[in-house]
Amino acid sequence: MTRIEKRNLRNGLLFISPWIIGFLGLQIYPIIYTTYLSFTQYVGIGTPRFIGLGNYRQMMSSPLFTQTMYNTFFYTAFAVPIGIIVALCMALAMNQRVREVAVYRAILYLPSILPVFALSFVWLLFINPQFGLMNQLARMLGLPIIDWIGNARFTKPSIIILAQLGAGGSALILLAALRSISKDLYESAEIDGAGPLRKLFRITLPMLTPVILYLVIMGLAAGLQIFTQAFILTDGGLQGGTIGSLNSLYFYMLYIYRNAFMFSRMGYAAALSVVFFVISLVIALVVFRWGKTWVNYDT
């Protein structure tokens, strides 16, 4: 390296050193230390006691591990695709040339900027089986009253519906992508006699696939880490010893939280976190590989 190149390298490392220190101290070190704790019995104070694969063997034999994993994947499998479809419909509506469209965009986007805990509290009041607005409307229409939290058949659908209140953020990203599509493509399609549906499936959706892949990745990350909504809707899982009805809202993150901070089983919670990290990494790699088969980066 020349003297100038060495100086540029030194200056570059100096400028990015805050990020490097943060990355090593706040991401790499916690991953390594969590992996170490997963092989120990640790209550949060004192010295961890090495127990080998004991936490992992206990995890594989625990029915709660299986149930929380199932609940988490069930929620993610439905909430993410439904959320993308809802966001796409909202983006298409926001992209229409109508009067006061800016006001409509603000109304559709507003719920997504509210904190998750605030939306969860509002939703809890909204679906209350006694005085909630949803069941009040059901009574007026002569429909059956549904206990969205106490009935295990409706707990997951209720929290999946709640997730769609935050679709405004994804819709705004899709709207920006829609506005970037060249008008020449639509004009050429109209000359060839293409209708609205043909233009949607032949032009709009293929051109949006990179953004859709991004939303899938972000949606999977958020779905697999769902915590706040279930914690609030079930009062932290302390009602009747179950989380939701028959533990139907017992998600994986809540399982880690309870073991770590309520039962002081830090070693077991660390083992759960390591397994979750590996599963998330595998899912991300599979999604990126799958994206190569349908994501379009060319006009």
- 3-class secondary structure, 50: strand
CB 155 within 8 A of CB 162: no
- Residue 84 included in any domain: yes
CB 275 within 8 A of CB 66: no
State yes or no: pLDDT of 299 exceeds 90. Answer: no
- Residue 114 included in any domain: yes
**Mean pLDDT value of segment 57-83:** 95
Using alpha carbons, select from 257, 252, 247 the residue that is nearest to residue 278.
252
pLDDT band at 138; cut points 50, 70, 90:
confident
Using alpha carbons, select from 209, 218, 181, 205 the residue that is nearest to residue 290.
209
Using alpha carbons, select from 260, 198, 237, 208 the residue that is nearest to residue 71.
237
- The DSSP element (H or E) to which 74 belongs, if any, is helix 63-94
- Residue 119 included in any domain: yes
Say what percent of the chain tops pLDDT 70.
Answer: 96
- Residue 230 included in any domain: yes
pLDDT score for 242:
58
Q: What is the pTM of this model?
A: 0.89
pLDDT score for 48:
94
**Mean pLDDT value of segment 194-212:** 93
pLDDT score for 100:
83
pLDDT score for 240:
43
CA dist 122 and 120 (Å) reads: 5
The length of the chain, given as a count of residues? 299
CA dist 106 and 168 (Å) reads: 9
CB 249 within 8 A of CB 159: yes
CB 59 within 8 A of CB 272: yes
Using alpha carbons, select from 56, 245, 221 the residue that is nearest to residue 150.
245
- The boundaries of the domain holding residue 238 are 63-291
Using alpha carbons, select from 177, 174, 167 the residue that is nearest to residue 219.
167
pLDDT score for 237:
53
Using alpha carbons, select from 134, 110, 114, 294 the residue that is nearest to residue 208.
294
pLDDT score for 238:
52
Minimum mean pLDDT range among 123-127, 205-209, 275-279: 123-127
pLDDT score for 239:
47
CB 37 within 8 A of CB 266: yes
**Cβ within 8 Å of residue 18, ≥6 positions away:** none
- Residue 254 included in any domain: yes
- Residue 51 included in any domain: no
DSSP annotation string for 251-291: -HHHHHHIIIIIS--HHHHHHHHHHHHHHHHHHHHHHHHHH
pLDDT digits (tens, 9 = 90+) for 264-288: 999 999 999 999 999 999 999 999 9
96 or 217: which leads in pLDDT: 217
**Mean pLDDT value of segment 225-251:** 76
CA dist 161 and 68 (Å) reads: 19
CA dist 25 and 126 (Å) reads: 43
- Residue 53 included in any domain: no
State yes or no: pLDDT of 236 exceeds 80. Answer: no
Give the chain's domain count. Answer: 1
- Residue 298 included in any domain: no
CB 177 within 8 A of CB 203: no
The CATH number linked to 275 is 1.10.3720.10
pLDDT band at 177; cut points 50, 70, 90:
very high
Minimum mean pLDDT range among 79-83, 120-124, 200-204: 120-124
Structure-block tokens of residue 209: 């696939």
pLDDT score for 243:
66
Structure-block tokens of residue 153: 């058949």
- Residue 162 C-beta-side C-alpha neighbours within 13 Å: 32
State yes or no: pLDDT of 213 exceeds 50. Answer: yes
pLDDT band at 245; cut points 50, 70, 90:
low
